[in-house]
Structure 1
Amino acid sequence: MIEAIMESHYIQSLPFLLKGLVWTIIITIVGLILGFALGAITGLGRLSKNKLIRGICAVYVEVVRGTPILVQVLFIFSGLTEDIIGFNIDKVTASIIAITINAGAYIAEIVRGAVHSIDKGQHEAGRSLGLTQRQTMRFIIWPQALKRMIPPLGNQFIISLKDTSLFSVIAVGELLYMGKQYYNATFSAFQTLIMVCILYLIITVPTSFYLRKLERKLDV
């Protein structure tokens, strides 16, 4: 019985799938780190009093949120050719850029909403202490807003993690692509895709549970 299980495709596919899972996590984490930086700048830009900055940030957010990430990664990988930008973008870099740009637009709204939710009296308190507008944002508003961002940022991590499965279309060696490579060679689609789902769930379910617990703890 045990020997049969060990020789089944459920187990035999694991070495291939784990390699893909590593790339899935790397692309997601790197993309989200860069996406948070882009989203923070854009989110604060949408709150700017400068109409030009506010308009540019709004256009970026609406364009990215209004187009599928699959189209975005294909545009970056296949559309931005050497003839247009002078060099070719490799598939992993294209995937990270796609996650960065896509997540950045959604994170921008998270940042904007979190900062906007802070009571205006906090701004006035900072000014009454003699702080500049920038210092008030840095030392008073941002720490409070960041606390409120944590749960939705965690949800964005789960969304971006699942979005990486779309990058199999450009042959990125992430989890789904490695699964497809395995079952195409072994004709074991059912068992392999079951394992793909399980590996996604191993990441997403504990993350969702932790986020709910964190949200209750932070009382946000």
Structure 2
Amino acid sequence: MDFNVEIIEKYWQLILSGLPVVLLISLVAALCGTIIGLATVFLRRWNKVTKFIVEAYIDVFRGTPVYVQLIFFYFGLPGLIPGFNPSEIVSCIIVFALNSGAYLSEIIRAGVDGIDKGQIEAAKALGVSGKDIAKDIIVPQAFRNVLPAVMNEFITLTKETSVVSAIGMTDMMYRYQSVKSTTYATFEPLLVVFITYYVMNKILSMIGKFVERKLKYD
């Protein structure tokens, strides 16, 4: 079948109208996932109970596809829990935040383990509180150590949002399906989605490298 540029000219704006949905889910889930990932690092060290819960959570979310998690959360849990009926956007944010948090937990933990223990011991000897040690020593250095891996996780998260149309979210893939059913064209509308995701994640990668350079030690 011949390439038809007129389809792109006519429908590209409709397809891109789904981009704000992708950005909203990605940004909110990334923020919540970072908080979850950071919290699990400290909860893991709290006691044996919290360590077991965190490890079980990480094991489940890293051991199953995000698509299955989304379908299970949106369609499966309402049938199991009476009165549980989250909206599409809430379901997406919760699932992607939990999924991202599970991966970020391991990434941030590696960053924390890479901090010189002498700094923490010196701060304790000077009477610095545990809260201030975490806020001023552990967290800043941990994020500096793992920033490239964190940015890669954010990029992965953005790409994974392409499955949200499975529960009716009107993202770019949802718009692509609409155009495809109207024009019977597959390649042209999909090309718009393909290029948009590539450019968006290329920009994220450039931002990550810029921030990484700024945070490097002199």
Given the two structures, how large is their TM-score scaled by the length of structure 2? 0.90
Alignment-derived partner of residue 33 in structure 2: 35
Task: Quote the residue 1:162 is aligned against.
Answer: 159
How many angstroms does 1:76 deviate by? 0.8
Partners of 2:40 and 2:207 in 1: how far apart?
Answer: 28
Of 112, 131, 136, 2:133 maps to: 136
What aligned pairs does 1:103-182 form with structure 2 within 5 A after superposition? 103-182=100-179
Q: Which amino acid aligns with 1:123?
A: I
In 1, the alpha carbon distance for the partners of 2:129 and 2:209 equals: 36
Give aligned pairs, total: 214
CA distance in 2, matches of 1:90, 1:98: 12
Q: Give 1:34 shift.
A: 1.3
TM-score normalised by structure 1 residue count: 0.90
Work out which of the residue numbers 98, 102, 106 in structure 2 matches 1:101. 98
Counterpart of 2:21 (choices 13, 23, 34) is 23
Q: 1:209 to 1:83 in 2, by over 3 A?
A: closer
- CA apart distance, 1:215: 3.2
The 2-side partners of 1:157 and 1:100 are apart by 11
Q: Percent identity?
A: 34
Which segments of 5 or more consecutive residues in structure 2 lack a partner in the other structure? none
Give the distance between the partners of 1:33 and 1:209, measured in 2 at CA.
Answer: 19
Q: Is 28-37 or 210-219 further displaced after alignment?
A: 210-219
Deviations 1:130-155, CA, capped at 9 Å, x for gaps: 11333222222222112223322221
Q: Matches of 1:87 and 1:63 in 2, distance apart?
A: 21
What stretches of structure 1 move > 6 A for 4+ residues in a row? none
Partners of 1:44 and 1:111 within 8 A in 2: no
Tell me the CA shift for residue 93 of structure 1. 1.4
For 1:201, the equivalent position in structure 2 comes to 198
Amino acid at match of 2:15: L
For 1:115 and 1:54, the matched residues in 2 are separated by 16
Q: Distance in 1 between matches of 2:86 and 2:214?
A: 43
Amino acid paired to 1:110:
I
Residue from 43, 46, 67 that aligns with 1:45: 43
**Residues 11/95 of structure 1: CA separation in 2 closer, same or farther (3 Å cut):** same
Letter in structure 2 aligned against 1:150: L
Partner of 2:186: 189
Q: What is the CA deviation profile of residues 178-209 of structure 1, one whole-angstrom value per residue up to 9, with x for unaligned ones?
A: 11111111112111011110111110112223
Q: What is the SS of the residue equivalent to 1:172?
A: coil
Return the alpha-carbon distance in structure 2 between the equivalents of residues 138 and 31 of structure 1: 22
- What RMSD in Å do the two structures reach over aligned CA positions? 1.9
**Aligned in 2, Cα 1:53/1:218: closer, same or farther, shift over 3 Å?**
same
Work out the CA distance in 1 between the residues paired with 2:70 and 2:43.
25
Q: CA deviation at 1:82?
A: 5.9
